[in-house]
């Protein structure tokens, strides 16, 4: 039975470009533009890119209830339906990884390829602690403190330590201004979701991009994805949690090279 048009789209969405469909699922505390902005133009040159903003990100109103990975995945598929996409690849970053995984397991005939960057199937102890602290700081409303925590945890060692003081201040100000209002709910979901049972059922060709200097999602979690998803390919990129900032072109190239081979 077709699952198209059963879910009414209610999240803000973006559509760009032309060509084969590519759905984008962003990270916690960010937005579609915040996660994929640096590579959107390059992706839209090849694909019909469709992405959503989670509750409290972009133009999507903040949720008054806890988020679920099922709801985020269903809204991502609803956005594809609304834009007329029948089959598509899915790229998920960080929290977007489990969202992409759930979309692929619910719609195996429609998802042609998966790209999972800095993603995780469940929280280990470090991620549980980090997401708890992140959620509490975000709920406090102290955006400067939230930005300090985010940069300390998310930037790789080389990227962080190479910043002059003025650039660090500017980056902190940018991060504080761009923090999603829905960060508490989104980071709370990070600490509770578990998609491990989905992994062996995935049939789409899958690329796992492991961010090797990542203090939020460990390389052990990345490898768990690659080892459990049938036929998944693991590749490494020498960054912290934010390859879109630290190695923009390399990250974009890994995504497009894989999709060129596996997504027509």
Residue 70 structural domain: 13-125+194-262
Last residue of a domain, one of 117, 148, 183: 183
Q: Are residues 22 and 119 in the same domain?
A: yes
Count of domains observed in the chain: 2
- Whether the pTM exceeds 0.75: the reply is yes
Q: Are residues 83 and 105 in the same domain?
A: yes
Is residue 229 a part of any domain in this protein?
A: yes
pLDDT of residue 1: 33
Residues in the chain where the model's pLDDT stays below 70 = 1-6, 263-264
pLDDT of residue 8: 81
Is residue 1 a part of any domain in this protein?
A: no
SS (H, E, C) the chain: CCCCCCCCCCCCEEEECCCCEEEEECCCCCCHHHHHHHHHHHHHCCCEEEEECCCCCCCCCCCCCCCCHHHHHHHHHHHHHHCCCCCEEEEEECCHHHHHHHHHHHCCCCEEEEEEECCCCECCHHHHHHHHHHHHHHHHCCHHHHHHHHHHHHCCHHHHHCCCHHHHHHHHHHHHHHCCCCHHHHHHHHCCCECHHHHHHCCCCEEEEEECCCCCCCHHHHHHHHHHCCCCEEEEECCCCCHHHHCHHHHHHHHHHHHHHHCC
Q: Are residues 158 and 256 in the same domain?
A: no
Q: Are residues 140 and 255 in the same domain?
A: no
pLDDT of residue 6: 64
pLDDT of residue 97: 98
pLDDT of residue 4: 56
pLDDT of residue 9: 86
Last residue of a domain, one of 139, 162, 183: 183
Q: Are residues 52 and 98 in the same domain?
A: yes
């Amino acid at each position: 039975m077709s699952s198209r048009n059963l879910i009414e789209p209610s999240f803000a969405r973006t559509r760009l470009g032309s060509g084969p469909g590519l759905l984008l699922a962003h990270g916690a505390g960010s937005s579609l533009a915040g996660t994929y902005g640096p590579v959107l133009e390059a992706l839209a040159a090849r694909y019909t890119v469709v992405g959503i903003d989670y509750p409290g990100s972009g133009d999507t109103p903040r949720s008054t209830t806890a988020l679920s990975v099922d709801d985020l995945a269903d809204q991502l598929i609803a956005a594809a339906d609304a834009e007329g996409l029948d089959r598509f690849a899915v790229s998920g970053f960080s929290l977007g990884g489990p969202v992409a995984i759930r979309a692929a397991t619910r719609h195996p005939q429609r998802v042609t390829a998966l790209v999972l960057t800095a993603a995780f199937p469940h929280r280990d102890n470090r991620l549980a602690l980090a997401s708890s602290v992140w959620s509490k700081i975000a709920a406090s409303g102290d955006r400067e403190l939230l930005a300090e925590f985010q940069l300390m945890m998310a930037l790789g060692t080389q990227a962080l330590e190479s910043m002059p003081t003025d650039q660090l201040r500017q980056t902190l100000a940018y991060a504080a201004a761009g923090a999603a209002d829905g960060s508490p709910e989104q980071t709370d979901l990070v600490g509770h979701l578990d998609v491990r049972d989905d992994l062996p059922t995935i049939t789409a060709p899958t690329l796992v991009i492991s961010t090797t200097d990542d203090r939020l999602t460990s390389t052990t979690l990345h490898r768990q994805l690659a080892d459990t998803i049938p036929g998944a390919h693991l590749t490494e990129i020498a960054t912290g949690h934010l390859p879109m900032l630290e190695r923009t072109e390399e990250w974009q190239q890994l995504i497009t090279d894989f999709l060129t081979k596996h997504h027509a």
